[in-house]
């Protein structure tokens, strides 16, 4: 079954089996497969999650939801769950779609996202990932330079847009570098992911907040290592009540060895359109 798998992909299966044994699970579940991916391919994980520490946050989220049972020996053969079997089939399909002779860790991750109702996929989506975004990111290849590096910046911006649109404070904060700055419409500035999480949560819980449609309005590439972009979120329906989620953001991103991250965001509120003006 694993003849076409790369050595890394085979180790992912080994680590997934190990994770299942540590949690005493009778099956290799999707969360074990995700942990195996993050354990084996840390470079891929950092490329996807950008901010250090987020991999452990995924493990913590998993451990908060699953039931621990008595551990058993790793020598015990553990079957794949039905969801994991479908993920492996999806991974093979993704490898074929990308015209790859081998199934790699990136194809396994795509397979997880295609099994969209599984626990592992839900964890990834909560952190701003999607099948389309990951396909775009992987299409850039391992070495990003020139135009492909700029495309990587666009993908990171799309993660930021998705996180704000969905009210995902943790996902929004993970887009920032360790000393990244977020200036709220009120003028308050938060520095670093921990403060930015708190600021975003406060905005998302404010009276009148509702999901808005976000978009990238324009992007200016400053060489191959920096991007400045303007983003906007507008309400789907006309309202005279201010919506804290409707903002404009000026975003500065920079590319470092671990990937793209947000250096600074300046947000300004958008005035609600009155019904008389809309008419």
Identify whether residues 18 and 100 lie together within a single domain.
yes
The count of other CB atoms within 10 Å of the CB of residue 152 is 23
* Residue-level pLDDT at 137: 64
Identify whether residues 47 and 115 lie together within a single domain.
yes
* Residue-level pLDDT at 41: 73
The per-residue pLDDT for range 47-58, each reduced to its tens digit, is: 555 544 456 777
CA–CA gap between residue 250 and residue 219 (Å, rounded): 10
Helices (H) and strands (E) in the chain, counts: 12, 6
CA–CA gap between residue 180 and residue 191 (Å, rounded): 6
In a domain, 131, yes or no: yes
Identify whether residues 155 and 226 lie together within a single domain.
yes
DSSP state at residue 144: -
* Residue-level pLDDT at 146: 41
Identify whether residues 97 and 31 lie together within a single domain.
yes
Identify whether residues 246 and 269 lie together within a single domain.
yes
Structure tokens at 224: 């191959």
Identify whether residues 152 and 134 lie together within a single domain.
no
Q: What is the CATH number of the domain that holds 27?
A: 1.10.1780.10
Strand 213-222 vs strand 189-191: parallel, antiparallel, or unpaired?
A: unpaired
* Residue-level pLDDT at 220: 81
The per-residue pLDDT for range 221-263, each reduced to its tens digit, is: 776 678 888 999 987 666 677 888 899 999 999 887 667 889 9
In a domain, 2, yes or no: no
Identify whether residues 249 and 157 lie together within a single domain.
yes
Single residue among 98, 113, 138 that ends a domain in this structure? 138
Closest CA to 29 of 69, 81, 66: 81
Domain that holds residue 76: 7-138
In a domain, 254, yes or no: yes
Identify whether residues 90 and 154 lie together within a single domain.
no
The residue ranges of the chain whose pLDDT is under 70 are: 1, 42-55, 127-128, 136-153, 155, 223-224, 236-239, 257-258, 271-279
Closest CA to 164 of 194, 136, 199: 199
Identify whether residues 170 and 272 lie together within a single domain.
yes
Q: What is the CATH number of the domain that holds 234?
A: 3.10.450.50
Identify whether residues 17 and 120 lie together within a single domain.
yes
Find out whether 7 and 60 touch, Cβ atoms under 8 Å: no
Single residue among 138, 157, 172 that ends a domain in this structure? 138
Cα–Cα distances (Å) from 14 to 3, 58, 75, 79, 160, in that order, read: 14, 19, 11, 12, 33
Signed CA dihedral, 83, 58, 9, 153: sign only: positive
CA–CA gap between residue 162 and residue 245 (Å, rounded): 12
Single residue among 138, 164, 181 that ends a domain in this structure? 138
In the chain, the number of structural domains is: 2
* Residue-level pLDDT at 49: 57
């Amino acid at each position: 079954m694993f003849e076409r798998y790369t050595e890394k992909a085979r180790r992912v299966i080994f680590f997934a089996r190990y994770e299942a044994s540590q949690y005493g699970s009778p099956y290799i579940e999707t969360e074990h497969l995700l942990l195996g991916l993050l354990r084996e391919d840390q470079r891929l994980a950092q490329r996807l999650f950008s901010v250090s520490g987020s991999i452990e946050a995924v493990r913590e989220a998993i451990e908060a939801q699953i039931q621990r049972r008595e551990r058993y020996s790793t020598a015990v053969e553990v079957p794949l769950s039905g969801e994991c079997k479908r993920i492996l089939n999806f991974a093979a399909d993704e490898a074929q779609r990308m015209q790859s002779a081998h199934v790699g860790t990136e194809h396994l991750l795509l397979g997880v996202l295609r099994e969209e109702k599984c626990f592992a996929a839900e964890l990834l989506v909560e952190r701003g990932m999607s099948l389309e975004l990951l396909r775009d990111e992987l299409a850039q290849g391992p070495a990003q330079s020139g135009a492909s590096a700029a495309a990587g910046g666009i993908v990171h911006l799309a993660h930021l847009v998705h996180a704000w649109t969905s009210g995902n404070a943790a996902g929004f904060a993970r887009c920032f570098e360790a000393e990244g700055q977020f200036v709220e419409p009120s003028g308050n500035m938060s520095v670093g992911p921990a403060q930015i999480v708190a600021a975003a949560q406060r905005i998302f819980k404010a009276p009148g907040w509702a999901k808005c449609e976000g978009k990238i309005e324009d992007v200016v590439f400053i060489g191959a290592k920096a991007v400045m972009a303007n983003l906007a979120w507008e309400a789907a329906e006309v309202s005279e009540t201010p919506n804290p989620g409707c903002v404009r953001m000026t975003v500065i991103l920079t590319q470092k060895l671990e990937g793209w991250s947000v250096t600074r965001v300046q947000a300004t509120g958008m005035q609600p359109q009155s019904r008389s003006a809309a008419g």
